[in-house]
Amino acid sequence: MTGGEYGDGTRSVHAGLPAPEPGQPFLPGPVFAAPYHLDPVTGPARDGYGRPDNPTRRLLEAAIGELEGGEARAFASGQAAITAVLMAVLRPGDTVVLPSDGYYTVRSFAASTLDQLGVRVSYVPTAGPHPSFDGVRLVLLETPANPGLDVCDVAALSVAAHAAGALVAVDNTTATPLGQRPLDLGADFSVASGTKALTGHSDLLLGYAATRDAGLLERVTTWRTQTGGVPGAFDAWLAHRSMATLDLRLARQSANAAAVAMALAARSDVEHVRWPGLPDDPSYVVAERQMRRIPGLVSVDLGSAERVTAFLRASKLVFAATSFGGLHTSADRRAQWGDSTPEGFIRISCGVEDTADLVADITAALDAAA
């Protein structure tokens, strides 16, 4: 239903919906079941138990798979999905390349678990330079990287990794499948947190891994079945319902980010404004070529933790919160979580408020916090 002939709005609204059936809802409600009735004669069916499979989750996976252009498996969180890909692929003695500036819990997992299992971990900044991938089993890219928003060239790095015999996974959390399609760019996996802009209402945790390779799909599916990190039926349903507005939400978030980034860049009292859509941003050229739209995230250094506090207290529209991609504009001072960013560095996640209101509020709050 939602192939290449339709625009993003149509694809978002129709992704994963079953064929119309009179008397049935557009999106069937959540199926709450741990065990299902079994046929006493024929025994196990597709829906026999809720950990391996659930009809609500299948519809969500169909929707994500349509947008990513592959087959998807949903997980209880982005972290469950990323660790599933790592653990399904990597074996003792393997080398994995991880972004040094990506989501920090992936690095924590590498230090606490991959290291102990005898997997060699090498860290490379998203902006590069990327070393030779000889001897590497898996390259995980995160682009745009959270929180610094550097972008890397997925197509070129996939060619280099494949030539060396390595697999490529791209964390597509910040971009979402409407912002970029890693599988089209040559990656073996698109893996993401659906907690953020994909579902966008700040009310659930979700992750997924998508691939076009049947063998890799089988490995992450087996990992998920055996370790059990599945989303519940209600969260899966809520996620699918929320994805219908993905195109609308991203459009406003991106427009708001453009306006906020320009307003910040015009000020002399803030530093290092990053938004990959700004023509003088270091990531602009690759982002313009690779991405279908630029996400609603802007990063900036306000100079000190005290100024961030004063800014957040003065703002009426910017909530202090971690996570990102939601309807409400929020800002997160990353150093408070142990991220190696300057004390005054914040990641602003632009919501869907009116652009003029948001820019006026942020400008007034910065003036007040001068």
Ligand X SMILES: Cc1ncc(COP(=O)(O)O)c(C=O)c1O
Q: Residues interacting with ligand X, by CB under 6 A?
A: 77-79, 82, 103, 142, 146, 171, 173-174, 193, 195, 205, 207, 323
H/E stretch holding 9: helix 8-14
Nearer to ligand X, 16 or 325 (CB): 325
DSSP state of 333: E
CB 269, min distance to ligand X, A: 28
Query: Can you tell me the distance from the alpha carbon of 7 to that of 12, in angstroms, rounded to the nearest whole number?
Result: 9
CB 175, min distance to ligand X, A: 10
Kindly state the tokens that stand for 54: 């659930």
Query: Can you tell me the distance from the alpha carbon of 148 to that of 15, in angstroms, rounded to the nearest whole number?
Result: 31
SS3 of residue 118 by DSSP:
coil
Q: Where are the beta strands (DSSP E) in 41-119?
A: 71-75, 95-99
Cis bond before residue 144 (omega within 30° of 0): yes
Kindly state the tokens that stand for 198: 């994909």
CB 250, min distance to ligand X, A: 16
Nearer to ligand X, 10 or 323 (CB): 323
Query: Can you tell me the distance from the alpha carbon of 62 to that of 360, in angstroms, rounded to the nearest whole number?
Result: 41
CB 297 within 8 A of CB 324: yes
CB 145, min distance to ligand X, A: 8
Nearer to ligand X, 56 or 79 (CB): 79
CB 329, min distance to ligand X, A: 17
Nearer to ligand X, 146 or 341 (CB): 146
CB 270, min distance to ligand X, A: 23
Residue 90 burial by CB count (10 A; 0-12/13-18/19+): exposed, middle or buried? buried
CB 37, min distance to ligand X, A: 33
CB 116, min distance to ligand X, A: 21
Closest residue to ligand X using C-beta atoms: 78
Kindly state the tokens that stand for 240: 């699918």
Sheet holding 138-142, edge to edge: 71-75, 207-211, 189-193, 167-171, 138-142, 95-99, 120-124
Alpha-helix runs per DSSP H in 15-70 = 55-68
**Whose structure tokens read 């055996």?**
226
H/E stretch holding 331: strand 330-333
Nearer to ligand X, 112 or 304 (CB): 112
CB 22, min distance to ligand X, A: 38
Q: How far apart are the first and last CA of the chain?
A: 52
Nearer to ligand X, 89 or 205 (CB): 205
Nearer to ligand X, 2 or 199 (CB): 199
Nearer to ligand X, 2 or 77 (CB): 77
Nearer to ligand X, 142 or 235 (CB): 142
